[in-house]
Structure 1
Amino acid sequence: MSPDQGDTLKQAEVVREGLTSLGYLCDEMPVSADLGKLLEGFSGKSPVMVFNLVETIRSKGRFISFVPLVLESLGMPYTGCPADAVYLTSNKILAKKIVRWNRIATPEWFTLDDLEKGIGPDGKCRFILKSVWEHASVGLDEDSIVAGIDPSAIAAELRSRSDTLGGEGFAEQFIEGREFNLSILESDSGPRVLPPAEIIFKNYPDTKARMVGYRAKWEEGSFEYSNTPRSFDFPPDDRALLRKLRSMALRCWRIFGLRGYARVDFRVDRDMRPWILEINTNPCLSPDAGFIASAKEAGLGMESVLELILKASHKQAGRPRRR
């Protein structure tokens, strides 16, 4: 089992413990791509609320919207973002198109089809090769960054990295600069942006790309993992930038119809211009995850976070039974 997959199980344990401490009756249910078993599992338990923690099915991120779609078809209430929002944001190319249609900055990108047709970068900047469907920095490392010169060479590299990327990939302009995560939690008064977090690239030599790859997220003991701490401390000069990041994150919330909780990832270039990288529905709730770190910075413990997530799902469905 990969570290990111193991983290999902850890998350389920933490959420179950938190809900139990709040007095809720909880039962975990594994999910597969077998629709019959899934329907049987739900009907047999007759849940009044499903806390959706599904991130992949058969280790494929492209199936992340499967469970919300099934739950909606059954009329069962569930936590987190609705199925449409989950699908639209899980396909990174589609999400980027929607962001651009709404005149929000996102880095330039090229699909494999574009590159094979000779449509590609002008050579003025570097590009990063990313998965269309997989999240959690799957397949991302320093070798993912390539010179944006020859579309055919980039296409060949994308094809060669298909297995590492978990399938379909694309090339995205690599924004040299800083990286921020803005977490959003729905409250009684609407979506609330939690304290912004910046990823600090400590001890990185000038020759090393400043990016949050798979090692930085998951491989404890690696240089990247040990030297990419989160910071919530900002100088006064960053106030205008932070206001803009909050505004852009909330625009994404409204545009994609998000609900419950989400996270928006940004790069900020050397001219202080922010660029949206990804919109993450139902981000990880493990104790060491970025979302929970931002919640703690806002003075919210795990139980408070879980209560707010549940409340956001209760608006059209009654409260779940307590013991």
Structure 2
Amino acid sequence: MKIAVVHEQIIEGRPDSEDLLDELAVVTGALRTLGFQYETIALAAGLRQLYELLGRLSMFCPDVVFNLVEGHEAGQRLFPAVAGFFELAGFPLTGSRYDAILTTTNKIISKSMMATAGIPTPAWHIYDGVPLSLPPQCAYIVKPACEDASVGIDDASVFTDCERLLEALPTTFATHRQPLLIEAFIAGREINISIIEHKDGRPEVLPIAEIVFKDWPQGKPEIVNYDAKWLPQSFEYNNTIRRFNPEGISASDVRQTALQCWRLFGLRGYARVDMRVASSGDIYVIEVNANPCISHDSGFMAAAAHADYTETDIIRMIIEASLKK
């Protein structure tokens, strides 16, 4: 079998981008173990680059395109179009298709879809440069609407003072140059649910993971911010501990909610659903991730290992799911 592994250009000095090197190592290592022929292709910005990519794919004639494109120099909002390009060109691709990547990349669209479908998600507002009013009694977290990997999220993203939040919005909006999601902050437990698809189309929910905020200073927001994900020297990175099958939550409700998201967005191959569980036990979906990170130390691969899958098993299953009719 021939696999074309396509990824975006890696940005030096950006840990969330440089992590792609580890993902490439996971995928290509598994392909060698499986005995598959492969070629890696870096995609740069611009329509001309797509023409060149099409030429390389046509010459290589892959059975599957392993889609590791997680961003684009022209803007995070546009990178789902790359999956659509593969589909239009007629190449089977791993993971989710264009429409699922598009709707999950935009937090405003995804939350609107979940609310319509009855999937619990925190209440939210949108800021796009136009002044707005907010209920003052709530705590909020402010996120760029079209970023992932906790880009743009730090402790200062959480507000308990509504007046201070409203004052900060214009500067934050100018910084990120995209709409802002102002989401009710759920003070509770952080839960990650990874899902892998079998070749018969059956999605399997992997062991549920909780992120424990160890020795967290009083008053510090319990969130997985950018530092917690990407900066090994930071307090947040070293004090967010993953544990599996946590007690005190309804595992069946969590699994059912994750599978509802899988069906609603038409996810495929592999995905991760992030939730918060309030002290009342109520579950809220905060984000749905199509094609989540699959580096060696990612939450997805940790959940897979806890289910006794090897990295090679996971890469093989992702490829098999891309070939099903």
Q: Common fold, TM-score beyond 0.5? A: yes
8 Å contact kept, 2:209–2:244: yes
Match of residue 309 from structure 1: 318
Q: Between 210-219 and 187-196, report the one with greater CA deviation.
A: 187-196
Tell me: CA distance 1:75–1:245, structure 2 relative to 1, closer, same or farther (3 Å).
same
How do 1:49-128 residues align onto structure 2 when only pairs under 5 Å count? 49-58=64-73, 60-113=75-128, 116-120=130-134, 122-128=135-141
The answer on whether the counterparts of 1:139 and 1:164 sit within 8 Å (CA) in structure 2 is: no
- In structure 2, the partner of 1:178 is 189
Residue number in structure 2 paired with 1:293? 302
Aligned to 1:320: none
Amino acid at match of 2:260: R
Distance of 1:315 and 1:22 partners within structure 2: 19
8 A Cα contact 2:43 2:53, kept in partner: yes
With the length of structure 1 as denominator, give the TM-score of the two structures: 0.91
Q: Distance in 2 between matches of 1:163 and 1:14?
A: 37
2:162 matched to 1:131? no
Structure 2 unaligned spans of 5+: 1-11
Separation in 1 of the partners of 2:171 and 2:131?
Answer: 18
AA aligned opposite 1:130 = K
Q: Indicate conservation of the 8 Å contact 2:191/2:210, yes or no.
A: yes
**TM-aligned CA distance change 1:59 to 1:17, over 3 Å:** farther
Indicate if the aligned counterparts of 2:107 and 2:181 stay in contact, CA closer than 8 A.
Answer: no
After superposition, give the CA deviation of every residue in 1:162-198 in whole Å (9 maximum; x if it has no partner). 4654633221111101000000000136000000000
SS at match of 2:65: coil
CA contact (8 A) 2:126 2:179 kept: no
CA contact (8 A) 2:261 2:288 kept: yes
Letter in 2 for 1:179: E
Q: For the residues of structure 1 that align with 2:183 and 2:23, how far apart are their CA atoms?
A: 30
How much does 1:119 deviate?
3.6
Q: Which has the higher strand share?
A: 2
2:34 pairs with 1:19:
no
Which residue, 259, 263, 278 being the options, matches 2:268? Answer: 259
- Give the stretch that moved more between structures: 37-46 or 137-146: 37-46
- Label 1:143 to 1:70 Cα distance change in 2 as closer, same or farther (>3 A): same
Structure 1: gaps of 5 or more residues: 317-323
Q: CA 1:149/1:255 → structure 2, altered by over 3 Å: closer, same or farther?
A: same
Q: CA RMSD in A?
A: 1.7
TM-score, normalized by length of structure 2?
Answer: 0.91
SS at 1:170 equivalent: strand
Q: What residue number does 1:201 align with?
A: 213
Q: Is the 8 A contact 1:138 1:166 kept in 2?
A: no
